[in-house]
Amino acid sequence: MSVVNVPLKDGTRAVSRAALDSAAEARMFRRPSEWRIFWEAFSRDRLALAAALVIALVCLAAVLAPLLSPYDPTVGDNDLRLAPIGTPGHLLGLDGQGRDILSRLLWGGQVSLAIALLPVTVASVISVVLGLVAGFFGGKVDMIIMRTLDVFFAFPAVLLAVAIAGVLGPGMLNVMLSITIVLIPYISRVAYMATVTVKSELFVDQARVSGARPRQILLHHILPNTLSPVIVYGSTLVGIMIVLGAGLSFLGLGITPPRPDWGIMCSDGRNFLSVAPHVSAVPGIVLILVAMSFNIVGDGLRDALDPKLRK
């Protein structure tokens, strides 16, 4: 649908011809809302749309796990231990303790998604504040914030996450804390770069000349322009962090058994690799699918949010 072709729902006959014309004209040339521009660009990307649908379905399935899951994810049926995919009543088979894999996937989704989504959100908020303040005020503030973050940037990310989670001890909260700490320097750099670039644009000078206060410039002119790179980067990071979070669970640093999560499920299957590889394989495939979807959505968002990349 073209941008100009906004449907008219004006049916009033009483209005004079001239008035109708000018109203129609005004409507025709009215700028469509930002949302509309974004949605039209994003929905044109079929792959990104499909990936967004996958994410929505997986999230919905995880939230509705109490309703959807056919069995208790923590209670096993000993007679059917390691039953393969397609066992009647157990679509994806059973694990080493006779627990239904589909039910565990649904319940585990809650943990695996939360472990990535919450830290990325929290880290993004903190990072935008840090990046804005450092980039906008510059000087000593810039130096203190960015040099401190450089130190955290110097660690290999996976190693830092494992070390922090390991030192704090197992637990979902500790894993989320460690992922948040690891993410902040990365996202802050993106927010910082965006701030510094936007700060030197002409429209910011214009705002300053018109008498805008620093607070207004920061919140109304610079903040909106740093958000889109952070959102794009963040959505890609969610995919990577789902994999990292699952990795930490795999090492036994995440949620404590018997509660499931996708990483623990992969790890549970390690002892049965030669007889029942599906126990580890199935959660891994779900992990890849979801992580990949976030990646594709990230690419789609980048193309849709950046006016220069829109087709």
Partner 1 sequence: MLRYLVYRVASIVPVLLGVSIVVFLMMKLVPGDPAEAILGPAASTEKIEMLRRSLGLDRPFHVQYFRWLWKVLQGDFGMSIAVNVPVATLVWPKFWNTILLTLGSLVICVLVGLGVGVVSGTRQYSWFDRISMSLTLVVANTPAFWLGLILMVVFALRLGWFPATGMYSMRAAEPTVSDLLHHMVLPAVTTAAVSAAIIARLVRSSFLDVIRKHYITALRAKGLSERDIVLRHGMKNAMPPIINIVGLQVGYLMGGALFTEVVFSWPGIGLQIYSSIVARDLPVVQAAVLVTTFVFVLVNLGTDVVVAALDPRIRRA
Task: Give the integer Cα–Cα distance in Å for 252 and 266.
Answer: 11
Q: Which is nearer to partner 1, 213 or 270 (CB)?
A: 270
In whole angstroms, how close is the CB of 160 to partner 1 at the nearest point? 8
Is residue 295 at the binding interface for partner 1, with CB under 8 A as the rule? yes
- For residues 184 and 238, is the Cβ–Cβ distance under 8 A? no
State which of residues 253, 255, 297, 305 lies at the interface with partner 1 (CB under 8 A).
253
Q: Which is nearer to partner 1, 110 or 112 (CB)?
A: 112
Is residue 163 at the binding interface for partner 1, with CB under 8 A as the rule? yes
Task: Give the integer Cα–Cα distance in Å for 188 and 145.
Answer: 10
State which of residues 270, 271, 306, 309 lies at the interface with partner 1 (CB under 8 A).
270
Q: Which stretch binds partner 1 (CB under 8 A): 8-16, 25-33, 125-133, 167-175?
A: 167-175
Question: What letters, b where the CB count within 10 A reaches 16 and e where it falls short, cover 52-65?
Answer: bebbeebeebbeeb
Neighbours of 180 (CB within 10 A): 21
State which of residues 167, 215, 307, 311 lies at the interface with partner 1 (CB under 8 A).
167
In whole angstroms, how close is the CB of 47 to partner 1 at the nearest point? 10
- For residues 111 and 172, is the Cβ–Cβ distance under 8 A? yes
Is residue 112 at the binding interface for partner 1, with CB under 8 A as the rule? no
Is residue 274 at the binding interface for partner 1, with CB under 8 A as the rule? yes
Q: Is the bond leading into 258 cis (omega within 30 degrees of zero)?
A: yes
Q: Which stretch binds partner 1 (CB under 8 A): 35-43, 84-92, 161-169, 204-212?
A: 161-169
DSSP 149-194: HHHHHTS-HHHHHHHHHHHH-SSHHHHHHHHHHHHHHHHHHHHHHH
Q: Which stretch binds partner 1 (CB under 8 A): 2-10, 76-84, 225-233, 283-291?
A: 283-291
Q: Which stretch binds partner 1 (CB under 8 A): 55-63, 74-82, 113-121, 150-158?
A: 150-158
Is residue 280 at the binding interface for partner 1, with CB under 8 A as the rule? yes
In whole angstroms, how close is the CB of 185 to partner 1 at the nearest point? 11
State which of residues 154, 200, 209, 308 lies at the interface with partner 1 (CB under 8 A).
154
Q: Which stretch binds partner 1 (CB under 8 A): 35-43, 77-85, 121-129, 154-162?
A: 154-162
Q: Which is nearer to partner 1, 223 or 243 (CB)?
A: 243
Closest CA to 36 of 308, 304, 309: 304
Helix, coil or strand: residue 90: strand
196-203, Cβ contacts within 8 angstroms, sequence gap of 24 or more: 196/135, 198/222, 198/225, 198/226, 199/135, 199/136
Closest CA to 126 of 163, 107, 102, 152: 152
Question: What letters, b where the CB count within 10 A reaches 16 and e where it falls short, cover 245-261?
Answer: bbbbbbeebbbeeebbb
Max CA-CA distance within the chain? 82
Is residue 200 at the binding interface for partner 1, with CB under 8 A as the rule? no
Interacting residues toward partner 1 by CB under 8 A: 147-148, 150-152, 154-160, 162-164, 166-169, 239, 243, 246-247, 250-253, 263, 266-267, 269-270, 273-274, 277, 280-281, 284, 287-288, 291-292, 295-296
